[in-house]
Structure 1
Amino acid sequence: MSDVAGSDGDPLEIEVPADPLAGHPASAYLWGHVAGSGDVGEDTVEVVTNDETSANVLAAVAGGDIDHDTTSREYAHDASITRTEDEYTLEIGAGEDDDGPTDAGDGLFGRSGTLGLPVDGRGHYRFSAFASHDRELLRGILEGCGTICFKSSSGTVGISFVHDDEALLEATRELIEDCPVDAPMGDLSETSSGGYWFGVDDDAAPAFGTWLYEDCEETGLYAPSRERKLRKSLEQAEAYD
């Protein structure tokens, strides 16, 4: 177990797996995040999140150093709109000690380069090891490359996934199709910025979002800011009705 400071200052108790590559809820959450907003290099794994608590949870699971910055970026669905937000970058991999750089393999979970990581040579992720932990895997992907919003024009909750990697979004769609909640989705489409996106149907978004976060406080494997956004959006939709 590892204690992580939550958004309210109270510690979150995280069950940390002995091997962050084995099938485990925490490793599924980690690799969902890496797939959604990360990068796997020869010497390091890097993952980016906008939630400080989530960054600390990921560091508790996999180790590494967190760097905090503020960034402005284009909105995925409309490149004419920019937003400024906190950004926490976790770098896992080769570090330095008193004698200089340490061995990269030691930093990458004892593996030599990317060998043995859940990503193939073309950059496609292999999620089979986390098949029993689809909720945590999907939650990590959503927090890495997804959006939750209240649509004031229709009074509904919107949940969508946006990424440059079409294959990742296709894999995400398969995970959603296999989840225990009926969650129809729209077609995979191109964004104005050159990536791809799809959304869960508005009628299914409340049930899907509730299922996705229903056990998060027990495990600590979540971004509190994203859970609050979902809860607020659901409350707004109910008030609209």
Structure 2
Amino acid sequence: MSDARREIEVPADPLVGHPATAYLWGHVAGSGRVVRSEARTTDGERRRREHLEVVTNDEQSAQVLAAIAGGDIDHETSSREYAHDTSITRTEDEYTLSIGEDEDSEELLGRTSVLSLPVDGRGNYRFGAFSSHDRELLRGLLEGCGTICFKSSSGTVGISFVHDDRALLEATQELLADCPVTAPVGELSETSSGGYWFGIDDDAVPEFGMWLYEDCEATGLFAPSRRRKLERSLEQADSDDE
């Protein structure tokens, strides 16, 4: 795949409030994990190394995240179970961005942290710096751990968020409650795979979805395949209403 980096406006500090950093940390929270390993130095000492991996199913989104945070992208095809029904599997492209693999690097994305994720010392998600960029933050979260589907039984579009970390989904519900469009959500429920999920009320999905991707072309901070899926699903729902 091409390793070209998109021209994205990026601040020097990856933790300051900015549309690009909000989008990045939404993805990191939604689909990121820290991978730890040990390596021997030239003098025989063991040294712990860690790097951050962020996974997306969209190549352009992976390139955007790399433009913001640096790192290398690996592409593979994977099969996985649906979170809501483990009897169904799907095969899809998977792009993994690895950040901070340099053996001389002792911190990730400009901060020394046990997790190098957007959390404070007590494990609470720290999204306050991005309060002025809630659209990009929620877009990153949706693309990182959200699902979009057309519900043929009701002729509506569903948006849900799925994650193993209940606290992240609770933080996402708070962000949705504060966003400028009405987006009521359901209760958190357990998935059959052991994680958690909640959905936005179907009636609110069209307005929320259009707000979420409004003007995204201007910044490039979005996954084209995810936006296309949302648009196709909304068009299908409109067609069923006619």
* Same fold flag (TM > 0.5): yes
**Structure 1 position 110, deviation (Å):** 3.5
CA-to-partner distance for each residue in 1:75-98, whole Å, 9 max, x for gaps? 000011111111111111131xxx
**Paired AA for residue 103 in structure 1:** S
**Amino acid of the structure 2 residue aligned with 1:52:** E
Q: Structure 1 residues 237 and 63 mapped into 2: Cα distance closer, same or farther (>3 Å)?
A: same
Partner AA of 1:167 in structure 2:
A
**SS at 1:221 equivalent:** coil
Find the counterpart in structure 1 of residue 187 from structure 2.
187
Q: Aligned-pair RMSD on alpha carbons?
A: 1.8
Q: Deviations over 1:38-94 (max 9, x none)?
A: 114573221100000000000000001111111111100001111111111111113
1:130-174 deviation line (CA, Å, top 9, x unaligned)? 111000000000000000111111110110000010000000000
Match of 1:22 among 16, 25, 35: 16
The percentage of counterpart residues that share the same residue type is 77
Instruction: Indicate if the aligned counterparts of 1:64 and 1:90 stay in contact, CA closer than 8 A.
Output: yes
Cα offset for 1:102?
1.9
Q: Which residue pairs with 2:240 in the alignment? A: 240
Letter in 2 for 1:35: A
Instruction: Evaluate the alpha carbon distance shift between residue 77 and residue 17 of structure 1 in structure 2; reply closer, same or farther with a 3 A threshold.
Output: same
User: What is the aligned partner in structure 2 of residue 64 from structure 1?
Assistant: 71
The letter for the 1-side match of 2:64 is V
Aligned to 1:33: 27
CA distance in structure 1 between the aligned counterparts of 2:178 and 2:113, rounded to whole angstroms: 32
Matches within 5 A, 1:35-184: 35-40=29-34, 43-95=50-102, 101-105=103-107, 108-114=108-114, 118-121=118-121, 123-184=123-184
Give the whole-Å Cα distance in 1 for the aligned partners of 2:214 and 2:180: 13
**C-alpha separation between the residues in 1 aligned to 2:116 and 2:65?**
19
Q: CA deviation at 1:114?
A: 4.2
Shift of 1:191: 0.7
Distance 2:169 2:115 in 1: 23
Unaligned runs of 5+ in 1: 6-10, 96-100
Q: CA deviation at 1:20?
A: 1.4
TM superposition shift of 1:185: 1.1
Question: For the structure 1 residues 116 and 78, does the alpha-carbon distance in structure 2 shift closer, same or farther, using more than 3 Å as the test?
Answer: closer
- Could you tell me whether the CA contact under 8 Å between 1:71 and 1:84 is conserved in 2? yes
Q: SS at the partner of 1:91?
A: strand
How many aligned residue pairs are there?
226
Q: CA deviation at 1:116?
A: 7.6
Question: Closer, same or farther in 2 for the Cα pair 1:153/1:117, shift >3 Å?
Answer: closer
Q: Quick one: which amino acid aligns to residue 240 of structure 2?
A: Y
Aligned letter for 2:104?
Answer: T
Corresponding letter in the other structure for 2:27 = H
Using structure 1 for the length normalisation, give the TM-score.
Answer: 0.88
Structure-2 separation of matches of 1:168 and 1:90: 21
Structure 1 pair 236/122, CA: closer, same or farther in 2 (3 Å)?
same
